[in-house]
Amino acid sequence: MDLMDNTIMLGGPVKMHPRVLRAMSVPARAHRDPDFIEILKETKEFLQYVFQSKQDVTLLFGSGTASMDAAVSNIVKKGDKMLAIHNGKFSQRFHEIGNTYAEADELAVEWGKAPDIDAVAEKLETGKYRAVSICMNESSTGLTNPVKEVGKLVRKHDAIYIVDGITAVGGLDIKPEEIGADIVLLGSQKCVAGPAGLSAVSVSERYKERMYTDTVYYLNLKKHLDKMMQKNDTPFTSAIPLVQGFHEALKMVKEEGIENRIKRTRNMAEATRAAVDALNLELFPDRKYASDTLSAINYPEGIADKDFRGILKEKHGVVIAGGQEHIKGKIFRIGHMGQVRMVELLGTFGAIEAALRQLGYRNFTPGAGVAAIEEYM
């Protein structure tokens, strides 16, 4: 495997455009220099554009998990109750974070299934939750949750609605105001196709009114929001090269147009699902809720994850993801968000076909997966 030149088809980090790479290698500059403040100002505006929202936004200097921590730790504290609706590895994390800072209850849903709306309603009626969390797009299972329906219930109970949009914002057509979200999270290395290491949030007026201002320090949202919205600045030192790369990646979304980016992501997903069908494979999640940014696919019987992904990576230079936790070895996952092109998806499925055949799975006409993708081009 050649680290400098391969086909990255993960659920993030995703491929970065050469413009993004170049933006990161600019010589050092002062983080409060007017030129850098201008970059932060544009980044703020691009973020609102990508969130498709008029709400306040801010960058956070940490990965998606930092934004999950901030979303929770600024709104609940010991004595408060929170509900984590979870059906995958990432939404589960909210339960842990909730229990770190407050008392978290959980609504555990089978992985790959959407939560039952009645079960959510019932759970919400049992307790006075100050906040409720959900993951918009569970990249561990390739499932997009019905965040709008759940949102209506959360709003009815007047709780703060925390929506992890880390692998969704910039790739799915889900607007914070339309789903009633109070805080939506974004990861820099996902649909926007920037470098790993940054996250961002879009927050409602309700969230701002209710948030605590002194529960945490580095991830204090009030400080970040005030600095960003009022001064195009950050309370602490920026991760300068990452901001430069992320700014360029956001600019590329703007140039493409957010509607076009979302449509292209959907096309990639539909092409992927057509290829999956043509190879007589099955999606892991309930198809009705299949994600447009990442596809999780069940292994056919007898195909070992290690062998399959090993061949893809070592022999063909194609990097895809496996399953996590209890579905490790049972599924493989293909990211098709951001800057990934249809040509790369074609190449990936060609390599998948070859690897499956090599490992003895031949329940498909050679070339059928690739041909299904060609239909979309």
216: phi then psi, degrees, rounded to nearest 5: -135, 165
**Does 267 engage in binding with a copy of itself (CB under 8 A)?**
no
- In this structure, are strands 56-60 and 199-203 parallel, antiparallel, or unpaired? antiparallel
**Does 100 engage in binding with a copy of itself (CB under 8 A)?**
yes
- In this structure, are strands 137-138 and 143-144 parallel, antiparallel, or unpaired? antiparallel
**Measured between alpha carbons, how far is residue 95 from residues 58, 228, 245 in Å?**
24, 29, 32
| CB nearer to a copy of itself: pick between 216 and 371 | 216
Bond preceding residue 13 cis, omega within 30 of 0: yes
| CB nearer to a copy of itself: pick between 16 and 124 | 16
**Does 242 engage in binding with a copy of itself (CB under 8 A)?**
yes
Strands (E), the chain: 7-8, 56-60, 81-86, 103-108, 131-135, 137-138, 143-144, 160-164, 183-187, 199-203, 294-298, 318-319, 321-322, 331-335
- In this structure, are strands 103-108 and 81-86 parallel, antiparallel, or unpaired? parallel
| CB nearer to a copy of itself: pick between 72 and 136 | 72
**Does 79 engage in binding with a copy of itself (CB under 8 A)?**
no
**Does 16 engage in binding with a copy of itself (CB under 8 A)?**
yes
Of the candidate residues 40, 58, 86, 101, the single one contacting a copy of itself (CB under 8 A): 101
**Does 50 engage in binding with a copy of itself (CB under 8 A)?**
no
**Does 325 engage in binding with a copy of itself (CB under 8 A)?**
no
Q: Which of residues 178-197 bind a copy of itself (CB under 8 A)?
A: 187, 189, 195-197
**Does 97 engage in binding with a copy of itself (CB under 8 A)?**
yes
Stretch 285-324: interaction string toward a copy of itself, x if CB under 8 A: ----------------------------------x-----
Q: Which of residues 57-76 bind a copy of itself (CB under 8 A)?
A: 61-66, 68-70, 72-73
Quote the CA–CA distance of 336 and 334 in Å, as a whole number.
Answer: 6
Q: Within 13 Å and on the Cβ side, how many CA atoms surround 114?
A: 19
**Does 198 engage in binding with a copy of itself (CB under 8 A)?**
yes
Grouping H, G, I as helix, E, B as strand and the rest as coil, residue 255 is helix
**Does 126 engage in binding with a copy of itself (CB under 8 A)?**
no
Helix/strand number for the chain, H first, E second: 14, 14
| CB nearer to a copy of itself: pick between 115 and 197 | 197
Give the binding site for a copy of itself (CB under 8 A): 1, 3-6, 8, 10, 12-16, 21-22, 24-31, 33, 35, 61-66, 68-70, 72-73, 96-97, 100-101, 187, 189, 195-198, 214-219, 236-242, 245, 319
